């Protein structure tokens, strides 16, 4: 049995036993600085207000900006768990509304340095994370790096943040085009939602979506859903200075309301609780490992 096959067997074996799987939502964008982290943090707060247990995984291995927004600074990262130095419980820091925060650290690049035993024990331990959270939000870095694409390809719920700037729209298109070309992208089982951020008027947001949607449908054959528009809101900047999410500092600010509406749309449909396909974080990492060991 070669190493790749061995790993696939490890992953398969672990898949059947556990049932409590978290809903995993990956937040990404083509262009940087469009509001992914603000969205991830505020969506987390809004889900928490609905009584859900939420963990944010910071897969942006560069700048630690969630830490700034939440005013918390974790000492350890997912890399410590991967290398067997810490347990998941030890690396999660809790912030406002009791949302958990897990820093990716050097993250999935560590897979290259891990042996089968370490990968097996890491995948095994990920069930803990599924059991600790109802929703796991993954805040990715921007751009079309391999790491970002690995998370996006492996996720069944992807949210792409786009602003009305032309480059934000064209970069979102490039991201989706790259996604479409990935052999492991399963279009049928992936929901791609667009979040229009920093829009000054509703019409500007709708126009943004139309521009993107028309070309994505025509050239990529991908169906997009506009889940919501978040107005440009000075309170977003102010809350960053206060190191506390706008949804906490200014719960009635226009952006906070918009984050709340999106969380409602993601949770309920026609007054009924939505039943999303909760794949769990384990499935996501398993497919990333599969990609990496092919």
Q: Among candidates 15, 12, 40, which has minimal Cα distance to 28?
A: 40
Number of residues in contact with Mg ion under rule CB under 5 A: 3
CA 28/CA 161 separation, integer angstroms? 6
CB of 215 to Mg ion, least distance (A): 25
User: Mutual orientation of helices 3-17 and 116-132 as an angle, nearest 10°?
Assistant: 20
| Residue 237 contacts which entry, ligand ATP, Mg ion, none (Cβ below 5-8 A, type-dependent) | ligand ATP
DSSP conformational letter for 269: E
Question: Concatenated DSSP letters for 53-78?
Answer: -EEEEEE--S--HHHHHHT---S--H
Q: Among candidates 128, 159, 189, which has minimal Cα distance to 30?
A: 159
Is residue 197 involved in binding ligand ATP (CB under 6 A)?
Answer: yes
Is residue 168 involved in binding Mg ion (CB under 5 A)?
Answer: no
User: Binding segment for ligand ATP among 93-101, 125-133, 205-213, 229-237 (CB under 6 A)?
Assistant: 229-237
Is residue 147 involved in binding Mg ion (CB under 5 A)?
Answer: no
Pick from 37, 46, 247, 256 the residue near ligand ATP by CB under 6 A.
37
Which residue reads 């898949």 in tokens? 15
| Residue 79 contacts which entry, ligand ATP, Mg ion, none (Cβ below 5-8 A, type-dependent) | none
Q: Please, which residue, 29 or 77, has the CB nearer to ligand ATP?
A: 29
Compute the half-sphere exposure of residue 138: CA atoms within 13 Å on the CB side of its CA: 33
- Each residue of 61-79: b (16+ CB within 10 Å) or e? beebbbbebbebebebbbb
Pick from 6, 65, 178, 267 the residue near ligand ATP by CB under 6 A.
65
CB of 182 to Mg ion, least distance (A): 22
Is residue 280 involved in binding ligand ATP (CB under 6 A)?
Answer: no
Is residue 37 involved in binding Mg ion (CB under 5 A)?
Answer: yes
Footprint of ligand ATP on this chain (CB under 6 A)? 29, 32-38, 60, 65, 142, 197-198, 230, 232-233, 236-237, 240, 255
């Amino acid at each position: 049995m070669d190493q790749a096959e061995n790993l696939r067997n490890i992953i398969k074996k672990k898949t059947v036993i556990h049932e409590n799987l978290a809903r995993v939502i990956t937040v990404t964008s083509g262009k940087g600085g469009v509001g992914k982290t603000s969205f991830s943090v505020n969506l987390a707060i809004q889900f928490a207000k609905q009584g859900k247990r939420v963990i944010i995984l910071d897969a942006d291995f560069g700048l630690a900006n969630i830490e700034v927004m939440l005013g918390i600074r974790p000492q350890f990262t997912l890399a410590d768990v991967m290398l067997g130095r810490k347990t998941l419980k030890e690396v999660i820091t809790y912030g406002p509304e009791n949302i958990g925060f897990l820093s990716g650290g050097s993250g999935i690049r560590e897979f290259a340095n891990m042996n089968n035993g370490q990968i097996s024990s890491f995948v095994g331990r990920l069930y803990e994370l599924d059991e600790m959270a109802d929703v796991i939000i993954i805040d990715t870095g921007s751009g079309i790096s391999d790491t970002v694409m690995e998370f996006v390809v492996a996720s069944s719920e992807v949210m792409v943040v786009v602003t009305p700037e032309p480059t934000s729209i064209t970069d979102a298109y490039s991201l989706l085009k790259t996604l479409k070309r990935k052999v492991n992208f399963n279009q049928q089982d992936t929901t791609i939602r667009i979040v229009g951020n920093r829009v000054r008027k509703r019409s500007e947001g709708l126009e943004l979506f139309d521009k993107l949607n028309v070309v994505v449908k025509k050239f990529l054959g991908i169906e997009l859903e506009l889940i919501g528009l978040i107005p440009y809101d000075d309170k977003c900047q102010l809350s960053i200075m206060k190191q506390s999410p706008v949804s906490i500092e200014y719960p009635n600010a226009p952006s906070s309301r918009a984050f709340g509406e999106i969380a409602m749309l993601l949770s309920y449909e026609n007054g009924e609780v939505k039943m999303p396909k909760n794949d769990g974080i384990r499935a996501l990492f398993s497919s990333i490992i599969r990609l990496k060991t092919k």
